[in-house]
Structure 1
């Protein structure tokens, strides 16, 4: 009888503890965003990061995702959080990043929602988040997940010239976006685990797009290049898409400054990549508007329908500032970046009632081909939807703010 009473007591106590734990967990999840205070004196990087945490209590919710999915936008934004933590070690930042990774990486190293056989290079970039978590925890599942993404790059279909296809469904096509999606992870992986064995192959990707997609007149790079010249959007002589899109150019220069972190100065390809960065940056800088910002279609100025766009402008601000800080670019690019950041904060930022910030005028998405068909025309780019606080703008905004110490 006494034992029964003890067992009943222990059972009810355990249940009470469980209910307390689950309810307190629910309460903390529900109230945590409300508890985030965004000081008006905080740096822009913290303001944006805290705004995102407040609006999206779990990191997988970034971009209004309804459930966890492995996606490039999360990799971009959360890389910004990792860099921010180095400058401001607020413990909430790495917890937020790890929450995303742990919602997707399984114990066996597989990744929920990720499909290797699609050979979608967009899916590689979030692997950058795994290096630090693996180094910190030494849990094998994170290493296995990195190895899985490395396997994709080993098998990624290539153009006859050796450039990675953007996706399996886009044969023989390289897009500027893909350089950011694949190469920073590839460079970091080969330096960390392969003694830098494949750095030449990383550089090869830039060599191909630089050689084939650069416009001789403006120095700008076209959004996409079709090696086969078969796509309806492709120029029949060059294989290039018809227009210059600021965000595509932004992906490209961001890819260069991030990849250079892993190229030793004495590496034979280091100087070549720095040269590409200088050429692209000088060409882009010529099209900066007096506001400090860049237009959606880079070279078409205030042509009807064109608009000053947040993501490309943020990406250029970041790449130019980091390039100047690292000594890859002349010091004047720091001034160009500061002017761009001034434009973002005075023209495109709205301050919300709770102190959070909203970055407006960001193109939501743009691509080439696919269904419905995207023809790469001027009209196509300027008519694509815009989205406030789109992650392709907020991630680079955080990174730019950090490089400029704003």
Structure 2
């Protein structure tokens, strides 16, 4: 009887131990391993890993179902390249490479890219190929790069030499286009061109900034209008100046990033370099004046923060934070603007960023898209800008958030 009791106790202890082991295993599998993005990393890595989680295929960034060649991919992957440079983990490089591997065929054709549309937006992903060609020397990437460069040669121009934003947007320059085209054009020129060819290209790059300043700058505020129609035929165009009627945050954000990024490649002795730095300083002063004092971030329509319907918007705010921080870091802007960038970044974290239980980081209150003209027609009115769709994790916000996080080392 005593032996039987001992046997029963032994069996009870055995099954209890097994049960504990199973529960510990379950806890491990459903507890610690639920963490997708570790919270002990810098914000740049946390957002980059969150983007990779949201969009495992970089060719489908921006919530699309079919792989495509687009500027949003180029923006986020430019951020990924800089994350990889600072934190060289293979996952980041693989994410960048997979995009080019998917989108560029063995003979160098770019899938979904259509040269005849003459769309400046499509040049942005060329930055990815410039980066990868330098590392891999794959001929297909060089062939694709030459195709993108050929677009610049054939791009329709205004009478004074400004690139049309797209072939179908006749006679129009948009602020967006400066970021889409000029850093790529400048880096391509620095990499592949010499002599008179390079000099001509650099002059044309600087001309685009000169013309944007000439045609879209408001002399009262030193803010820049979203677009300019040389023909003054668009419904949105002022019949005297040709400018659109409002100061849209993200358009002006694109322009700021274009200035600080193009200076990475413009020769130190080029006479246009000082002009762009002057434009940047004028810009910084104007943008700081419309920064929301309480939150530290910016409104969707910059100068109308008190108007009903306007809202604090994430993508433009991230772009401004990056522009100011990089401008100071590179010595283009006075030190005082680092405080502006830091205040903006704190405001971004407080007003726009949320973190899920699994560590995935979200950027909220992003304007999904805005443009000029088209069908249905976009009239650039205040009501138009504030009523466009708002969503979370738009790559036009997550990319600049990563870039700002890197420069500020947050």
TM-score (norm 2): 0.90
Q: Secondary structure at the match of 2:344?
A: helix
Aligned to 1:303: 307
Counterpart position of 1:338: 342
In 2, are the aligned partners of 1:320 and 1:336 still within 8 Å (CA)?
yes
Distance (whole Å) between structure 1 residues aligned to residue 306 and residue 408 of structure 2: 28
Whole-Å separation in 1 of the counterparts to 2:260 and 2:404: 12
Change (3 A) 1:190 1:241: same
Match of 2:4 in 1: none
Task: Map 1:180-199 onto structure 2 (within 5 A).
Answer: 180-195=179-194, 196-197=198-199, 198-199=201-202
Deviation at 1:190, TM superposition (A): 0.8
Secondary structure of 2:263's partner?
helix
Match of 1:285 in 2: 288
Name the CA distance, whole Å, in 2 between partners of 1:335 and 1:62.
Answer: 32
Q: Match of 1:188, SS?
A: helix
1:384 pairs, out of 381, 388, 402, with 388
Q: How far apart in 2 are the matches of 1:186 and 1:355? A: 38
User: In structure 2, what is the equivalent of residue 49 of structure 1?
Assistant: 48
Q: Is the 8 A contact 2:216 2:225 kept in 1?
A: yes
Secondary structure class of the residue paired with 2:354: strand
Contact 1:75–1:127, Cα closer than 8 Å, also in 2: yes
Would the aligned equivalents of 1:134 and 1:143 in 2 still touch at CA under 8 Å?
Answer: yes
1:205 paired residue number: 208
Structure 1 residues not aligned, in runs of 5+: 1-33
Contact 1:36 1:50 in 2 (8 A): no
Q: What do the CA deviations read for 1:20-70 (whole angstroms, capped 9, x no partner)? A: xxxxxxxxxxxxxx8873121211001100111112111122111112100
The aligned length equals 373
CA contact under 8 A between 2:35 and 2:359: conserved in structure 1?
A: no
1:295 counterpart SS class: coil
Q: Secondary structure at the match of 1:271?
A: helix
Cα distance in structure 2, aligned partners of 1:216 and 1:279: 11
RMSD: 1.0
- Which residue of structure 2 lines up, in the alignment, with residue 156 of structure 1? 155
Identify the residue that residue 167 of structure 2 maps to in structure 1. Answer: 168
Range moving further from structure 2, 61-70 or 336-345: 61-70
Aligned pair 1:355/2:384, yes or no?
A: no
| CA–CA distance in structure 2, aligned partners of residues 310 and 211 of structure 1 | 28
1:263 Cα deviation after fit: 1.4
Q: Could you say which residue in structure 1 is the equivalent of 2:110?
A: 111
Return structure 1 stretches of 4+ with deviation > 6 angstroms.
none
Is 1:274 the equivalent of 2:300?
no
Q: What's the TM-score once normalised by structure 1's chain length? A: 0.91
Deviates more, 1:101-110 or 1:323-332: 101-110
Contact 1:36 1:54 in 2 (8 A): no
Q: Secondary structure at the match of 1:261?
A: coil
Displacement of 1:264 after TM fit? 2.2
Q: Deviations over 1:134-170 (max 9, x none)?
A: 1111111000111000000010000001000000110
The whole-number CA distance in structure 2 between the counterparts of 1:107 and 1:368 is 37
Q: Is the 8 A contact 2:34 2:358 kept in 1?
A: no
The alpha-carbon deviation at position 302 of structure 1 amounts to: 2.7
Question: Which has the larger Rg?
Answer: 2
Shift, 1:349, TM fit: 0.7
Is the counterpart of residue 319 in structure 1 residue 318 in structure 2? no
- Alignment of 1:232 onto 2:231: no
Aligned to 2:247: 244
Deviating more after overlay: 193-202 vs 383-392: 193-202
Matched residue, 2:332? 328
